[in-house]
Amino acid sequence: MAHATPSEITPQQVYQQRRDVLRQMAAGAAGVTLSAWTGQEALAQSASVVKRPGKLAALAGARSTVSGAQVADKLTPYEDVSSYNNFYEFGTDKSDPAQAAHTLKPRPWAISIEGEVGKPQKLGLEDLLKLAPMEERIYRLRCVEGWSMVIPWVGYSLSSIIKRAEPNSRAKYVEFVSLADPKQMPGVRSSVLDWPYVEGLRIDEAMHPLTLMAFGLYGEVLPNQNGAPLRLVVPWKYGFKSAKSIVKIRLVEKQPKSSWEKSAASEYGFYSNVNPKVDHPRWSQSSERRIGDGGLFTPRKPTLMFNGYEAQVGQLYAGMDLKKNY
Ligand code: MTE
């Protein structure tokens, strides 16, 4: 699979300046509301002119203190991050989500946390935004199809949310369920995947500090096409583990079956750790194309074990056969 990408560059300096301004705003912004979302849906989007959902003071987070959360790689331009997407609820082409996701209504929103927990609960978006300090984390995200991006996400560790529900001793896995509303998401009328989009993690993976619940990127509200209003980012796994527009988190005893596993178990294993030594049946995983780094003729980069996060997460898989548990 090879695609050309729009390469309007957002220079790093422009982003840096904007981030400084956002930080200053945050310093005096207690109680600021989510007005940034107002009118968001009204405007159309296109792949070449990406409408930005806007700033939100709550997201102007400090740099992360989590070990290994910041990579020094060049950032992928905002225009590419928000116009080259996989979000099958809005179509299967990379340009579909940016064009179609304006029908998604990211407010009001709530998630429920249920299953093997002492305190099942429903949490509204406003409460979620205040639940833990926002952090900015620059993560690599590598798609199983062989492309990758480097994105400054804003959010906090998923563990902050899960702990609130007090998982019990039977909670061995976590299942994530995305919204599947045909009124907002035209793609769910097709049978390309079994809806709703479901993904899963082992409980220790879900509780790992690197596992991020993201509410924004580039210091701004998440664009709909990137999974507004909240999505997972699991930086050492292939991108499909990072479920978008989540409405339910279920703590369960048995390993959940993800939508991708159901569609092709031989291609999409439960673990899906980025592993250059284990090829996908259709794509080599030994190298990747960094989106925004020039065109199709730019040399591919070697893919790193666990996407470069081996020092942080390798221990989670000690003693496991990573070819069998792909
Ligand atoms: N989540 C939902 N609900 N639906 C999807 O189709 N696609 C996944 C993942 N999360 C997907 C999803 C895949 S295949 C990838 S590579 C990443 O989202 C892409 O995230 P991005 O578009 O923000 O780069």
The correct answer on CATH 1.20.1440.230 for the domain covering 6-317 is no
Q: How far is CA 25 from the centre of its chain?
A: 25
Distance 28 CA to ligand 1 centre (A): 34
Section 178-188 average pLDDT: 98
Choosing from 240, 263, 282, 283 the residue with most ligand 1 atoms within 8 A of its CB, the one to mutate for a pocket test is: 240
Pocket of ligand 1, beta carbon within 6 A: 85-89, 141, 143, 178, 197, 226-227, 239-240, 242-245
* Residue 49: predicted pLDDT: 54
* Residue 178: predicted pLDDT: 98
The rounded distance, in Å, linking the Cα atoms of 51 and 13 is 20
pLDDT averaged over every residue in the chain: 86
Section 265-280 average pLDDT: 95
Section 160-169 average pLDDT: 98
pLDDT at 55 over 60: yes
Burial of 105 (0-12, 13-18, 19+ CB in 10 A): middle
* Residue 24: predicted pLDDT: 39
220: Cβ contacts below 8 Å, ≥ 6 apart: 36, 52, 53, 54, 55, 56, 59
263 touches 193 (CB < 8 A): yes
**Minimal-distance CA residue to ligand 1 atom 3:** 244
Section 87-98 average pLDDT: 98
Which uninterrupted H or E stretch holds 16? helix 12-27
Distance 233 CA to ligand 1 centre (A): 10
81: Cβ contacts below 8 Å, ≥ 6 apart: 149, 151, 217, 218, 226
Which uninterrupted H or E stretch holds 199? strand 198-202
Tell me the two tokens of residue 293. 């780094």
Q: pLDDT-derived band of residue 29, with 50, 70 and 90 as boundaries?
A: very low
Distance 245 CA to ligand 1 centre (A): 10
Distance 32 CA to ligand 1 centre (A): 30
